[in-house]
Amino acid sequence: MKLVFLDRDGVINQDSDKFIKNADEFILIPGSADAIANLSQAGFKVVICSNQSGLGRGLFTMEDLNAMHEKLHQQVEQAGGSLDVIIFCPHIPDNNCDCRKPKPGMILEICDRFNLEDLSNTVMVGDSIRDLEAISNAGGIPILVKTGNGKKTLAKETLPEGTKIFDNLLSASEYIIEREQKEPQREE
């Protein structure tokens, strides 16, 4: 199974230190809808995997989050693609839950759902060290994009071994698709 994990804020849409709290503030980074469409058209299951502690902090409601995700679905569909799953952690960092990245809980839950045991060819595209560590902790391949907090992450953090770096989600998606086409076909 071809599965790709994408962080949301700073990878797909513009991020804010004050949180993205409603659909009006949810603005896609140019090329991100096309990137998702390209991945889904290439046969990948596309999973958004996002920490959303704004819910736990009371900064926005579930209705607000659903409206943001509906806007995302619409824009991806207009580009000719689809999203398979959006999974998020609503907890604040102090909750010490198993789902908040950098812990791999959300990734492992999705892998269980899709009966995927070997993540060695599964990637996650993110802009923070938390994203990269989450997929690395699950045995997958980290990809850093320089959008959102990506440039800061690149400058300040020690990246997990094997991290690939791209300017944005569109260039990362081109690499992911090309990489898959070069891989020998695996039994599912």
Residue 148 in domain: yes
Q: Where are the alpha helices (DSSP H) in the chain?
A: 32-41, 53-56, 62-78, 105-113, 129-137, 150-156, 169-182
Tell me whether residue 86 is in a domain: yes
What domain count does the chain have? 1
Q: What is the pTM of this model?
A: 0.95
CATH number where 111 lies: 3.40.50.1000
Range of the domain at 142: 3-182
Q: Is residue 9 part of a domain?
A: yes
Question: Alpha-carbon distance 124 to 134, whole Å?
Answer: 9
* pLDDT recorded at residue 181: 86
Per-residue model confidence as pLDDT tens for the chain (188 residues): 899 999 999 999 999 999 999 999 999 999 999 999 999 999 999 999 999 999 999 999 999 999 999 999 999 999 999 999 999 999 999 999 999 999 999 999 999 999 999 999 999 999 999 999 999 999 999 999 999 999 999 999 999 999 999 999 999 999 999 998 887 555 44
Residue 163 pLDDT: 98
pLDDT (0 to 100) of residue 182: 85
Beta strands 45-51 and 85-89, pairing class: parallel
Q: Is residue 116 part of a domain?
A: yes
Residue 188 belongs to some domain of the structure: no
In a domain, 47, yes or no: yes
Regarding beta strands 164-166 and 141-145, do their DSSP bridges make them parallel or antiparallel, or are they unpaired?
A: parallel
The answer to whether residue 187 sits within a structural domain is no
User: Active-site positions?
Assistant: 7, 9
User: Which residues, other chains included, contact 130 with Cβ-Cβ below 8 Å and sequence gap of 6+?
Assistant: 51, 101, 102
Residue 136 inside a domain? The answer is: yes
Q: 142 - beta bridge partners?
A: 124
